[in-house]
Amino acid sequence: MLLQGALLTVQISLAAMAFSLVIGVAAACLSLSGKAVLRLPVLAYVEAIRNTPFIVQVFLIYFGLPALGMHLAPIPAAVVAMSIYGGAYTSEIIRAGIQAIGRGQIEAGKTLGMSPLVIFRYVVLKPALSAVFPSLAAQFILLLLSSSVVSAISVPELTGIGNDIQGMTLRNMEVYLVIAVFYVAMVAALRGAMTALERVLFPFKFMRR
């Protein structure tokens, strides 16, 4: 049962990481826009997410959206809540990376005749992601650990399954100690995967060392 819960934890966490990265890139770009109509809503979203507890955000998605006619099952609601939560923090990390890119590099791209899309992809976004990749990896680890909160809406992930087992057996120490070992193993695996991914995506960083 705990293995099944751990597998669901990995699945919803990976889905949330992918969506939060997409949200983060989009939000980071919009937050740097010169148009207030694009910038201000994104800044409001980031501040709202960063200044409210994650559990409240989960309850708003799961219990609040039905009042607007939108009903989500526990697992989709968990992925949506985790993606929105992770996207806000990811956007700030990526925004910092984009702001670190020198204006001269962008001008050089224009001089070489690169299109705006090519400049954004290769001159701005890729170097920015390279610079902040360790921070992104740390954020994704926190997102995985935050998945334990969604047990509050009956998602049968690792912590939720552990709570059920503890309720049936009353073996508090044993159950939660095993859960802790599972989380340590998942974090170690994710950290190793992110390190390997960084070497594949940005090999030049390691060539300089």
Lookup: tokens for 77: 């609601």
Helices (DSSP H) in 122-202: which residue ranges?
126-146, 158-169, 172-201
Q: Is the pLDDT of residue 208 over 60?
A: no
What torsion do the CA atoms of 39, 42, 48, 50 make, to the nearest 10 degrees?
A: -100
For residues 146 and 54, the answer to whether their CB atoms sit within 8 Å is: yes
pLDDT of residue 108: 85
Q: How far is Cα 16 from Cα 81, in angstroms, rounded to an integer?
A: 8
What is the pLDDT confidence band of residue 29, given thresholds at 50, 70 and 90? very high
| Measured distance between the N- and C-terminal CA atoms of the chain, rounded to whole angstroms | 44
> pLDDT tens, 85-97?
999 999 999 999 9
Q: How far is Cα 156 from Cα 127, in angstroms, rounded to an integer?
A: 39
Lookup: tokens for 2: 């705990």
> pLDDT tens, 145-164?
999 999 999 999 999 999 99
Q: Is the pLDDT of residue 34 over 90?
A: no
Residue 61: give its domain's CATH number: 1.10.3720.10
Domain count of the fold of the chain: 1
Q: How far is Cα 112 from Cα 46, in angstroms, rounded to an integer?
A: 36
Q: How far is Cα 126 from Cα 111, in angstroms, rounded to an integer?
A: 19
Q: How far is Cα 176 from Cα 38, in angstroms, rounded to an integer?
A: 45
The whole-model pTM stands at 0.92
What average pLDDT does this structure show over 57-71? 94
Q: Which domain holds residue 96?
A: 2-207
